[in-house]
Amino acid sequence: MTFPLSSFDSKDITCFEIIKAAYALSENELEIMMCIKNIQPVDIKGIAKIIPKDRATISRSIQRLMGIGIVRKTKINLERGGFKYLYSSMSVEELKLKLIELINRISKNMEYAISNLTEEKCKEAFKEVQTKYSP
């Protein structure tokens, strides 16, 4: 799913839309992130009570959110033996800082790319199009 940058040129944009676009989250991943944020710490079984998805789907989404750094995992030992994992989310303040840093980095990279745009690069890009479609 792509997000045109122009869709962010609105006062109506929400932070959740920004999070979803910035990290290319699926709707499912965003819902699981919100569930973890509001019920933390929570295990997969607790998430499945709210979001009726199979454990494997929830687990994949959690792994993705952990890879981004939004969700953390804690292993707890059970009294009767064994263990389970509980998941928690970074605080709203941490998430805001993470997003601001990411947006600033992206913005700087975009400004750099734009400042390096030349007529010659446009011509090179056109030649690539021609080559792609020539017999």
For 99, the token pair is 């997003």
Per-residue model confidence (pLDDT) at position 40:
85
Q: How many CA atoms within 13 Å lie on the side-chain side of 84?
A: 12
Per-residue pLDDT, 1: 54
Q: E-assigned strands of 2-121?
A: 71-77, 83-89
pLDDT in tens, the chain (135 residues): 566 777 777 788 888 888 888 899 999 999 999 999 999 899 999 999 999 999 999 999 999 999 999 999 999 998 898 999 999 999 999 999 999 999 999 999 999 999 999 999 999 999 999 999 988
**Which residues of the chain are in CATH 1.10.10.10 domains?**
1-90
Q: What's the burial of 102, exposed, middle or buried (CB within 10 Å: 0-12/13-18/19+)? A: middle
| Yes or no: domain 1-90 corresponds to CATH 3.40.50.720 | no
Residue 3 CB neighbour total at 10 angstroms: 13
What pLDDT, on the 0 to 100 scale, is given for residue 3? 66
Which burial class, exposed, middle or buried, applies to 135 when counting CB atoms under 10 A from its CB (0-12, 13-18, 19+)?
A: exposed
At position 92, the amino acid (one-letter code) is: V
The C-alpha angle with vertex 4 and arms to 89 and 14, in degrees rounded to 5, equals 40
